[in-house]
Amino acid sequence: MIEEGVPFPDFSLPDQDGNLVTLADLKGGKAIIYFYPKDDTPGCTVEACEFRDSAPNIPGARVIGVSPDSTKAHRKFIDKFSLNFTLLADTEQALSSAAGVWVEKSMYGKKYMGVDRTTFVLDETGTVLKVFRKVKPQGHAQEVLAAIK
């Protein structure tokens, strides 16, 4: 798991429109990179809509959501909920693994691999300023907003 004060892992992932986004693209301003399990599911929708509503109040910071979903699923999710930020398709879990959020989970006694809902706040150089682990979707965007102001 990535800790505060270390550089965020370099990456190159497609956004909802198939355009590649890299860590270098985010440098020069703060970034909020939040990892979530799946588009258009109850908790993930709450979290995304809260970031949508909070994004205009986060000065100088770019919000980026990352999940294992495809670019097509991301485009549908953005269109359905009028999301105003970028979603990255980490279909091979390369960034999720590098960030330490692709973990073994358990539900109803069945073990499987999935995303541990986590948010990273990066400074202008790509260094991790703050890590939010075991995120609860409700109220999380406000928690992040309060931490970076």
> Over the stretch 20-51, which tens digit does the pLDDT of each residue have?
999 999 999 999 999 999 999 999 999 999 99
Q: How many CA atoms lie within 13 A of 128 on its CB side?
A: 19
Residue 6, pLDDT score: 96
- Residue 40 CA to residue 80 CA, distance in Å, equals 9
Q: Give the tens place of pLDDT for each residue, 76-111.
A: 999 999 999 999 999 999 999 999 999 999 888 899
Task: Give the pTM.
Answer: 0.95
- In the chain, which ranges are continuous DSSP H helix? 23-26, 42-54, 71-81, 94-98, 140-148
Q: Is the pLDDT of residue 60 over 90?
A: no
Give the span between the Cα atoms of 141 and 149, in whole angstroms.
Answer: 12
Answer left, alpha or beta for residue 82, where phi above 0 means left and psi between -120 and 50 means alpha. Answer: left
CATH level 3 topology of 12-135: Glutaredoxin (3.40.30)
Give residue limits of the domains in the chain: 12-135
Q: How far is CA 55 from the centre of its chain?
A: 13
Give the distance from CA 41 to its chain's centroid: 15
Catalytic residues: 44
